[in-house]
Amino acid sequence: MSTEEKLTEERLAKAEKLRELGVDPYGGRYDDVTRTATVRKRGETLKLEAGAMVEGERARVAGRIVLQRVMGNLVFLTVRDGTGDLQFGLSKKALRDDWPAIKLLDLGDFIGCDGCLGKTKTGELTLWADSFTMLCKALHPPPAKWHGLKDVELRYRHRYVDLFANPPVREVFRQRSTIIQAVRDYLIRCDYIEVETPALQPIYGGAAARPFTTHHNTLDIELFLRISPELYLKRLLVGGMERVFEVSRNFRNEGLSTKHNPEFTMVELYEAYADYNVMMERVEGMTALAIERLDGNPKRPYGEVVLDYSVPWSRRKYSDLLEEYAGVSMADVAAVRRKASELSIDHAGKDDAVVVNEVFERTVEHHLIQPTFVYDYPAAVCPLTRRHPEDPNIALRFEAFVNGMELGNAYTELNDPRVQEANFKRQLAGENETMAVMDEDFILALEYGMPPAGGLGVGLDRLVMLLTNSASIRDVILFPLQRPR
RNA sequence: GGGGGCGUAGCUCAGUCGGUAGAGCAUCGGCCUUUUAAGCCGCUGGUCGCAGGUUCGAGUCCUGCCGCCCUCACCA
A472 by Cβ neighbours in 10 Å (0-12 / 13-18 / 19+) ranks as middle
Task: Provide the pLDDT for residue A111.
Answer: 97
Whether the per-residue pLDDT at A53 is higher than 80: the answer is no
3-state secondary structure of A286: helix
Task: Provide the pLDDT for residue A437.
Answer: 79
Q: Which nucleotide is nearest to A66 (CA to C1')?
A: B37
SS3 of chain A: helix, strand, coil, percent, to 5: 35, 30, 35
How far apart, in Å, are the Cα atoms of A353 and each of A36, A215, A337, A366, A421?
58, 36, 11, 20, 19
A426 and A301 in a single domain? The answer is: yes
CA of A66 to C1' of B42 (A): 25
The residue that minimises its CA distance to C1' of B9 is A3
Write out pLDDT tens, residues A63-111: 999 999 999 999 999 999 999 999 999 999 999 899 999 999 999 999 9
Closest CA to A477 of A176, A179, A228: A176
Please check whether residue A298 lies inside any domain of the structure: yes
The domain that holds A231 is classified in CATH as: 3.30.930.10
Complex ipTM tops 0.85:
yes
CA of A390 to C1' of B11 (A): 65
Whether the per-residue pLDDT at A369 is higher than 80: the answer is yes
CA of A167 to C1' of B72 (A): 34
A404-430: average pLDDT? 89
Residues present in chain A in total: 485
Task: Provide the pLDDT for residue A52.
Answer: 73
The residue that minimises its CA distance to C1' of B40 is A71
A110 and A202 in a single domain? The answer is: no
Write out pLDDT tens, residues A161-193: 999 999 999 999 999 999 999 999 999 999 999
Q: Which amino acid is at A367?
A: H
A120 close to A89: Cβ distance less than 8 angstroms: yes
Task: Provide the pLDDT for residue A354.
Answer: 87
The domain that holds A76 is classified in CATH as: 2.40.50.140
A117 and A181 in a single domain? The answer is: no
A168 and A71 in a single domain? The answer is: no
* Nucleotides on chain B within 7 angstroms of protein Cβ: 1, 9-13, 24-28, 31-39, 45-47, 66-76
A199 and A107 in a single domain? The answer is: no
A379 and A230 in a single domain? The answer is: yes
Q: Which nucleotide is nearest to A119 (CA to C1')?
A: B34
CA of A164 to C1' of B58 (A): 40
Q: Give the CA-trace dihedral at A86, A91, A93, A94, to 10 degrees.
A: 20
CA of A184 to C1' of B33 (A): 53
A407 and A265 in a single domain? The answer is: yes
The residue that minimises its CA distance to C1' of B72 is A257
Task: Provide the pLDDT for residue A272.
Answer: 98
Whether the per-residue pLDDT at A220 is higher than 80: the answer is yes
Please check whether residue A341 lies inside any domain of the structure: no
Q: How many domains does chain A have?
A: 2
A80 by Cβ neighbours in 10 Å (0-12 / 13-18 / 19+) ranks as buried
The last residue of one of the domains, among A142, A173, A207, is A142
| Mean pLDDT, all residues of chain A | 93
A283 and A410 in a single domain? The answer is: yes
Whether the per-residue pLDDT at A430 is higher than 70: the answer is no
Please check whether residue A149 lies inside any domain of the structure: no
Q: Which nucleotide is nearest to A126 (CA to C1')?
A: B34
A377-398: average pLDDT? 94
CA-based end-to-end distance of chain A: 21
The residue that minimises its CA distance to C1' of B66 is A485
Task: Provide the pLDDT for residue A429.
Answer: 65
Write out pLDDT tens, residues A236-271: 999 999 999 999 999 999 888 999 999 999 999 999
The domain in which residue A25 lies consists of: 3-142
Which residues touch A452 (CB under 8 Å, ≥6 apart)? A272, A273, A275, A386, A412, A413, A415
CA of A121 to C1' of B54 (A): 65
The residue that minimises its CA distance to C1' of B10 is A4
Please check whether residue A232 lies inside any domain of the structure: yes
A115 and A194 in a single domain? The answer is: no
A351-359: average pLDDT? 89
- E strands, A6-148, are 53-71, 74-81, 84-91, 110-119, 125-136
Closest CA to A101 of A127, A129, A143: A129
CA of A471 to C1' of B67 (A): 22
State how beta strands A125-136 and A84-91 pair.
parallel
A103 and A190 in a single domain? The answer is: no
A286 and A391 in a single domain? The answer is: yes
The residue that minimises its CA distance to C1' of B28 is A10
Please check whether residue A205 lies inside any domain of the structure: yes
Please check whether residue A350 lies inside any domain of the structure: no
Write out pLDDT tens, residues A116-128: 999 998 889 999 9
Please check whether residue A358 lies inside any domain of the structure: no
Write out pLDDT tens, residues A450-481: 999 999 999 999 999 999 999 999 999 999 99
The last residue of one of the domains, among A109, A142, A175, is A142
Q: Give the CA-trace dihedral at A16, A20, A22, A27, to 10 degrees.
A: 0
Whether the per-residue pLDDT at A1 is higher than 90: the answer is no
Please check whether residue A301 lies inside any domain of the structure: yes
pLDDT band at A145 (very low <50, low <70, confident <90, very high): confident
Whether the per-residue pLDDT at A200 is higher than 80: the answer is yes
A93 and A242 in a single domain? The answer is: no
Task: Provide the pLDDT for residue A444.
Answer: 96
CA of A90 to C1' of B17 (A): 55
